[in-house]
Structure 1
Amino acid sequence: MDAEERIQAASKFLLQSPPGEINDVLNDVRNIISDDESLQAGVLPALREYNLAQFITADVPGHQHQSIVSEAARIPSGSADEDDEQSQDRYWDPRSRTSFRFDHLSLETSDPEHVEPDPESEPFRAALETASLTYLSSHYHDGVVSVFSTPGSASRYIIQIVANKYNPSNYWSGRWRSEYIVDTDAKQLTGKILLNVHYYEQGNVQLSTTHNVSLSLPPAIAASGGASAASKVLALIETEEGKYQSSLNDTYAEMGEKTFKGLRRALPMTRSKLDWDRVLGYKLGAELTNSKGVFGSA
């Protein structure tokens, strides 16, 4: 396998990294590449793809909150050189009206600049943001939400939510992501909820699930476009996410009682429970017999 093939293999590993474990994966693939300079240059596109898809959060320079780094947050490049990677890595936080450069390897932000929002879409975007922050504080631990308007449209908004829980001392990690598109002209709320959980104590078990959302907005919400309408949009999201969480709880309960039990026999082929004390006695006797044989030959 040549260097390019090793880089491609490393990139695939990175894209499959469980929540919060990409640095562990990156350190492991360093042993495969054995060339840090080539590794950083080669896997940067994979790191960018992973971070944007996973809604990685970043500290906003000069402010006391975090913002989501995603495709919706990316500022289109004004450079004529489409291969200029640096121009691809500038994002903005509508909440603080700040754009910043983001390093996908170190996850650090730099070079903040003030950005003026679109005056036509900003009032309802800000109302959605306020309602989203209220919802976040009520239902998420250490979650982050960002609300974006769509360039060139005063009727389409994107709400993104991410919450992470890393517990390496107990060998598990998890990430909840949800994204909603609010289209007041089409009177539609569409989106998806993505959940990833990794449990790896003496094994490797992963859960990856996606729930699609498609709801009609009441005419009153689409028409008013104020704080009241924003609160009603978040009420729809609250109901949908609550139902999905309840369905997951029901699924887990059913898996524990039925699915997992169906993967193994309740009793061995003899239809009688195994006497582990007797098995241990057999094992001890076998070891003693082997020991006698060794000492006797000496």
Structure 2
Amino acid sequence: MAEEEEESELSEKQKVEIAKWFLLNSPPGEIQYVAKDVKSILNDDGLFNEAASEAFPLYNKSHFIVLPMPDRSGDVLVTSFGELEDNAFLDPRTAQVAIVDHVKQVCEDVRPALDEELASAYIEEFRFSLDAEILKYVEEVYPKGVCSVYCVNGKDSEGPGSDFELAIVISASRHSPQNFCNGNWCSVWNIDFKDEQQTVEVKGKLQVGAHYFEEGNVQLDTKHECKDATLFQAPEDCALAISSIIRHHETEYLASLEASYLNLPDSTFKDLRRKLPVTRTLFPWHNTLQFSLTRDITKELGIGKVTLVDRINNLLLFAGVFNAGAGFCLAPPRPNQGRRIEGRRMEIILKTSSFSGLSVLLLQEEQSSKQCWPLKRRRRGQ
């Protein structure tokens, strides 16, 4: 028995990997809550610190978290495009480098960026113009959204004749755990300037994540890629054209998400339902007359060959109409009140509120030659 327990015990490496998986798959803005639970489950500070030191940097960079700088000069985006060292991230707009504590998710210090960490004057002209246009767009579209433009290739180019690449990162988050919901929007746009072809290629990757956990657990994780192109022009003209392309594609994708939500009840949710009942047979709505309610009730009550009046009265009794005192019953015939029905279908419609879940009951009976008596209102208590 002791040997089996030893074999089932996880190794320290396995525990660290499992803890990392939970941390990396935390919903937007909830990694600190997950970390608290993981730490209590591991019950080992050494193992938790090892898992957290590896998982938090990856999580922060993949979710493009935004941290305010200590001197309140702005916000820094934690992204691989601006990563200089393990904990140092460049903010091109303010030409500063932020020192970040990944596990605590705070910006601890700020220093001026070095010349070799910044783009050349020629590249900076394009980067600055594009950053200004994207900033206007983000402030208009995304509440509390943050954006930044980085030079990822060819930052040392001194003039026309060489290719270079810029990257636009947009991050917008809304964390409201008190209302049981968190979410974020992340988009990355790679702008490839090709001088020889005089074209600018635009490639975008959009990612949306949301988590609703009020009396349940519903998560959204969707990704979308798109591409476009424009002409290589002056910095201001390129910035306007690129910002228009980004606005168009992101607006189109957001509209498609909203349309899919509107179609959820009519399409997606119906697809999740059972196609056929357990009997694997569709209900014949086109020929419902093949089902006889009186025959089924008669079989359930064990009634043999009885008159039509007895059948209906038994049915009324079975349905609880007599007990409720609010229904109808068939009175015995009086002279000259009966009439003959030759080869017709007799329909008796009972309307009463005493039926459980039924407002109208339709009885159908094939009669070759029967007498039908009028319905008589039954007094309460009789």
Indicate the TM-score class for this superposition, using the shorter chain for normalisation.
0.7 to 0.9
Once the two structures are TM-superposed, the CA of residue 278 in structure 1 deviates from its matched residue by 6.9
Once the two structures are TM-superposed, the CA of residue 44 in structure 1 deviates from its matched residue by 1.0
Name the counterpart of 2:185: 176
Structure 2 length normalisation: TM-score?
Answer: 0.63
Q: Is the 8 A contact 1:60 1:93 kept in 2?
A: no
Q: Which has the higher strand share?
A: 2
- The list of structure 1 runs, each at least 4 consecutive aligned residues, that deviate by more than 4 angstroms after superposition, is none
Name the counterpart of 1:67: 76
Rounded to whole Å, the distance in 1 between the matches of 2:63 and 2:73 is 22
Q: 1:37 to 1:278 in 2, by over 3 A?
A: farther
Aligned to 1:199, which of 199, 212, 228? 212
Name the counterpart of 1:231: 240
Please give the residue correspondences for 1:1-298 in structure 2 after superposition, counting only pairs within 5 Å: 1-75=10-84, 87-115=85-113, 116=115, 117-118=118-119, 119-153=121-155, 154=157, 155-185=164-194, 187-217=200-230, 219=231, 222-224=232-234, 226-264=235-273
Count of residue pairs the alignment pairs up: 259
AA at the equivalent of 1:195: V
Q: Is the 8 A contact 2:211 2:220 kept in 1?
A: yes
Q: 1:17 to 1:49 in 2, by over 3 A?
A: same
Once the two structures are TM-superposed, the CA of residue 46 in structure 1 deviates from its matched residue by 1.1
- Unmatched runs of 5 consecutive residues or more in structure 2: 1-9, 158-163, 284-354, 358-382
Residue deviations 1:119-157 (CA, integer Å, cap 9, x gap): 231111011111111001110011110110125345210
Rounded to whole Å, the distance in 2 between the matches of 1:233 and 1:132 is 9
- Unmatched runs of 5 consecutive residues or more in structure 1: 76-86, 272-276, 280-298
- Structure 1 window deviating more from structure 2 (93-102 vs 250-259): it is 250-259
Q: Is the 8 A contact 2:52 2:103 kept in 1?
A: no
> Percent identity over the alignment?
30
Q: Is the 8 A contact 2:180 2:213 kept in 1?
A: yes
AA at the equivalent of 1:107: Q
Q: Is the 8 A contact 1:150 1:156 kept in 2?
A: yes
Rounded to whole Å, the distance in 1 between the matches of 2:19 and 2:356 is 48
Q: Matched residue of 2:28: which SS?
A: coil
Q: Is the 8 A contact 1:190 1:213 kept in 2?
A: yes
Residue deviations 1:50-82 (CA, integer Å, cap 9, x gap): 11111011113424321211100101xxxxxxx
Which structure ranks higher in relative contact order (CA pairs < 8 Å, sequence separation ≥ 6)?
Answer: 1
Q: Which has the higher helix share?
A: 1
AA at the equivalent of 2:216: G
Rounded to whole Å, the distance in 2 between the matches of 1:27 and 1:179 is 31
Rounded to whole Å, the distance in 1 between the matches of 2:220 and 2:213 is 12
Q: Matched residue of 2:13: which SS?
A: helix
Rounded to whole Å, the distance in 1 between the matches of 2:205 and 2:246 is 11
AA at the equivalent of 2:262: A
Q: 1:32 to 1:2 in 2, by over 3 A?
A: farther
